[in-house]
């Protein structure tokens, strides 16, 4: 399990550690030592190092790293955005000056660019967690110069330009091959655009005693911490114990959506997987997957009485046919998983219900909050909390760094890959969530376990097929194996 913090908490932790007697300069030197050790282990042949330093303590990390590199015999050039430094960063600057280091002001982008062309590796120490406003034009141009150069980058604490809280950037951000992050793991490294900019993340606690009473924004676990929570099967197991799931959706032309959910639900171990769908789909659905029990819309009320859990939305549609099914389902008090079009129906007449799991992607989250997906992505943590507050239950906000929130705990799943951005991938997740909840897990555990297993199955598949070959129908058998 790892804990994820935002910038304000990270600053508070930093301050407390210093207040308790650990000098800031010592922490800075340790951070710099890890930066330099990362240079040595990942770029052992680098001879010429360029260190890009801002005016804050992030710049201080860079200056202290420059000192280690210089003492180790590397050819080091330091570019300073501004000489206006203070505190520990100023001490590091003075130490470096005493070594007659090559320190230059960043006042000519052309000179910087030429130097970068002769460099084996860049240390990015321009901005850390102190970045709190949009970058000015000069900083944007500087970062773009770095990003268009072939020179590899190690970022100190986080890629400069990235928002430690949300994973958005403040105009643009440095694209690093490695990011060495210190004291806390920042949530923005793991969600939204963060993973695109960070490269490989290395965490260093700087041998400090982290204060325990600051609760993190979110946690992240390993897949194998969720798997043991899946109920085990007794020798005299029978299908009545494994949950009866009713899936509702699959309007005309959208049979595939409900079919994918149903297949995932079956492979996740549900005792009975039943479908209410367009009448024309009933025979093909059964022919393709004989284990499924398929019913026409007229059988909905009867089947609601005979099921443990309802999953509503994949391929449901938004017309009268869909609306009638939605009305009947929403009035029923079975536990419910809402996905896809069901979320759009829910947004029309919001109801607070603790017995539900909502699975929006950012576009659907925007509908639920009457917002737009760009704003959702810029503050995914804020968005999932707002949805949960408005609608209740457990919410899964999908996308890179999928979040799961129950009003109390926030989990971030770091697994998954961009090949998952293909129609039908979310329908598969719905089936897994429904099956695990119906099998007796708590809704939060079912949601987390399903998200991790779904993403892990997609990562496994990606290794075999690549991104383009990763299609949702390949996932259910892999999901079955991961569930066991
Ligand atoms: N004890 C410590 O002091 C430690 C600090 N550490 C480093 O210190 C960093 C935090 O240091 P700071 O709080 O000084 O923050 P930063 O080094 O991120 O920089 C803040 C500076 O950048 C300026 N700034 C913010 N947004 C800007 C923008 N858009 N355009 C131009 N300038 C902007 C601020 O006015 C301020 O001067 C961490 O990220 C980490 O790298 C680590 O060395 C761990 C220990
Ligand atoms: N870039 C990505 N990285 C990780 N996971 C992703 C990425 N893009 C999509 N996903 C995952 O793929 C699934 C897509 O779901 P969704 O958008 O609802 O698809 P659909 O509605 O077509 O079934 C979600 O689980 C989401 O988290
Ligand atoms: K940085």
Q: If DSSP states are collapsed to H, E and C, what string results for the chain? A: CEEEECHHHHHHHHHHHHHCCCCHHHHHHHHHHHHHHHHHHHCCCCCEEEEEECCCHHHHHHHHHHHHHHHCCCEEEEEECCCCCCHHHHHHHHHHHHCCCEEEECCCHHHHHHHHHCCCEEEEECCCCCCCCCCCHHHHHHHHHHHHCCCCEEEECCCCCECCCCCCECCCCCCCCEEEEECCEEHHHCCCCHHHHHCEEEEECCCCCCCCCCCCCEEECCHHHHHHHCCCCCCCCCHHHCCEEEEECCCCCCHHHHHHHHHHHHHCCCCEEEEECCHHHHHHHHHHCCCCEEECHHHHHHHHHCCCEEEECCCCCCCHHHHHHHHHHHHCCCCEEECHHHHHHHHHCCCCCCCEEECCCHHHHHHHHCCCHHHHHHCHHHHHHHHHHHHCCEEEECCCCEEEECCCCEEEECCCCHHHCCCCHHHHHHHHHHHHHHCCCCHHHHHHHHHHHHHHHHHHHHHHHCCCCCCHHHHHHHHHHHHC
Q: What is the Å distance from ligand 1's center to 88 Cα?
A: 12
Written as six digits, the tokens of 395 are 């919410």
- Do residues 149 and 263 both lie within one domain? no
Nearest residue (by CA) to ligand 1, atom 13, is 130
Binding residues for AMP, by number, are 398-402, 426
Distance CA(431)–CA(260), nearest Å, equals 8
Domain-ending residue, one of 187, 215, 243: 215
Domain-ending residue, one of 185, 215, 245: 215
- Do residues 293 and 335 both lie within one domain? yes
Note the pLDDT tens digit of each residue in 13-46: 999 999 999 999 999 999 999 999 999 999 999 9
- Do residues 86 and 205 both lie within one domain? yes
- Do residues 302 and 180 both lie within one domain? no
Q: Tell which one of 14, 130, 139 to mutate to probe ligand 1, the residue whose CB is within 8 A of the most ligand atoms.
A: 130
User: For the domain that residue 89 is a member of, what is the CATH number?
Assistant: 3.40.50.10260
Written as six digits, the tokens of 173 are 């951000």
Distance CA(125)–CA(39), nearest Å, equals 14
Residue 125's DSSP bridge partners are: 53
The pLDDT of residue 233 is: 81
Among residues 93, 49, 98, 104, the alpha carbon closest in space to that of 73 is found at: 49
> Residues 481, 267: contact at Cβ < 8 Å?
no
Written as six digits, the tokens of 244 are 């009866």
Q: C-alpha distances in angstroms, 409 versus 219, 393, 452?
A: 8, 12, 16
Domain-ending residue, one of 157, 189, 215: 215
- Do residues 314 and 391 both lie within one domain? yes
| Residue 239: how many other CB atoms lie within 10 Å | 10
The pLDDT of residue 82 is: 87
Written as six digits, the tokens of 339 are 């996905």
The answer to whether the CB of 421 is under 6 A from ligand 2 is yes
- Do residues 242 and 183 both lie within one domain? no
- Do residues 450 and 357 both lie within one domain? yes
Ligand nearest the Cα of residue 344 is 2
- Do residues 197 and 334 both lie within one domain? no
Nearest residue (by CA) to ligand 1, atom 32, is 131
How far is Cα of residue 76 from the mean position of the Cα atoms in its chain? 36
The answer to whether the CB of 23 is under 6 A from ligand 2 is no
Tally of domains in the chain: 2
User: For the domain that residue 391 is a member of, what is the CATH number?
Assistant: 3.40.1190.20
How far is Cα of residue 167 from the mean position of the Cα atoms in its chain? 9
| Residue 237: how many other CB atoms lie within 10 Å | 12
Nearest residue (by CA) to ligand 1, atom 19, is 56
Q: What is the Å distance from ligand 2's center to 410 Cα?
A: 19
Among residues 150, 142, 50, the alpha carbon closest in space to that of 103 is found at: 50
The answer to whether the CB of 259 is under 6 A from ligand 1 is no
Q: Is 177 exposed, middle or buried (0-12, 13-18, 19+ CB in 10 A)?
A: middle
- Do residues 241 and 166 both lie within one domain? no
- Do residues 133 and 227 both lie within one domain? no
End-to-end distance of the chain based on CA atoms, in angstroms? 22
> Residues 124, 159: contact at Cβ < 8 Å?
yes
The list of the chain residues with pLDDT below 70 reads none
- Do residues 327 and 444 both lie within one domain? yes
Nearest residue (by CA) to ligand 1, atom 37, is 56
User: Which structural domain, as residue segments, surrounds residue 166?
Assistant: 2-215
Note the pLDDT tens digit of each residue in 178-212: 999 999 999 999 999 999 999 999 999 999 999 88
Ligand nearest the Cα of residue 178 is 3
Q: What is the Å distance from ligand 1's center to 51 Cα?
A: 15
Ligand 2 atom closest to residue 424's alpha carbon, by position in its atom list: 23
Distance CA(15)–CA(7), nearest Å, equals 12
Distance CA(171)–CA(162), nearest Å, equals 9
The pLDDT of residue 188 is: 96
Among residues 196, 153, 147, 160, the alpha carbon closest in space to that of 178 is found at: 153
- Do residues 116 and 240 both lie within one domain? no
């Amino acid at each position: 399990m790892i804990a994820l913090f935002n910038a304000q908490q990270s600053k508070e932790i930093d301050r407390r550690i210093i207040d308790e007697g650990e000098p800031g300069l010592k922490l800075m030197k340790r951070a710099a030592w890890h930066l330099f050790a990362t240079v040595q282990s990942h770029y052992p042949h680098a001879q010429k190092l360029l260190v890009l330093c801002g005016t804050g303590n992030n710049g201080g990390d860079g200056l202290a790293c420059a000192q280690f590199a210089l003492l180790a015999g590397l050819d080091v050039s330091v570019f300073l955005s501004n000489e206006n430094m203070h505190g520990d960063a100023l001490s590091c600057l003075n130490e470096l000056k005493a070594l007659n280091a090559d320190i230059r002001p960043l006042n000519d982008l052309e000179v910087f660019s030429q130097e970068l062309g002769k460099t084996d590796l860049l240390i990015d120490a321009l901005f850390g967690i102190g970045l709190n406003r949009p970058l000015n034009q000069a900083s944007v141009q500087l970062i773009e110069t770095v990003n268009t150069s072939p020179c590899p980058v190690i970022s100190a604490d986080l890629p400069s330009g990235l928002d430690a809280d949300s994973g958005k950037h403040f105009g643009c951000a440095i694209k690093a091959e490695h990011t060495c992050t210190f004291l806390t793991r920042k949530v923005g490294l793991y969600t939204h655009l963060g993973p695109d900019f960070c490269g490989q993340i290395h965490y260093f606690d700087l041998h400090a005693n982290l204060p325990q009473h600051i609760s993190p924004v979110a946690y992240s676990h390993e897949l194998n911490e969720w798997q043991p929570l899946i109920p085990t099967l007794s020798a005299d197991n029978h299908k009545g114990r494994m949950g009866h799931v009713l899936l509702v959706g699959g309007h005309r032309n959208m049979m595939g959506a409900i079919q994918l959910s149903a297949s995932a639900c079956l492979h996740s171990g549900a005792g009975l997987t039943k479908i209410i769908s367009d009448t024309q789909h009933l025979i093909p659905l059964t022919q393709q997957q004989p284990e499924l029990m398929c019913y026409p819309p007229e059988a909905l009320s009867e089947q609601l009485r005979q099921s443990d859990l309802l999953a509503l939305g994949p391929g449901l549609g938004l017309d009268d046919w869909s609306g009638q099914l939605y009305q009947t389902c929403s009035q029923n008090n079975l536990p419910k998983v809402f996905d896809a079009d069901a979320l759009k129906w829910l947004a029309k007449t919001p109801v607070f219900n603790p017995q539900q799991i909502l699975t929006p992607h950012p576009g659907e989250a925007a509908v639920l909050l009457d917002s737009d997906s760009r704003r959702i992505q810029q503050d995914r943590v804020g968005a999932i909390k707002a949805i949960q507050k408005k609608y209740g239950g457990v919410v899964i906000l999908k996308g890179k760094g999928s979040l799961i929130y129950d009003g109390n705990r926030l989990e971030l799943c770091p697994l998954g890959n961009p090949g998952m951005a293909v129609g039908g991938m979310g329908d598969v997740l719905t089936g897994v969530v429904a099956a695990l909840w119906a099998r007796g897990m708590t809704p939060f555990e079912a949601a987390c376990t399903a998200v991790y297993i779904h993403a892990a199955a997609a990562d496994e598949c990606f290794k075999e097929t690549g991104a383009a070959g990763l299609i949702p129908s390949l996932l259910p058998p892999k999901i079955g194996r991961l569930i066991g």
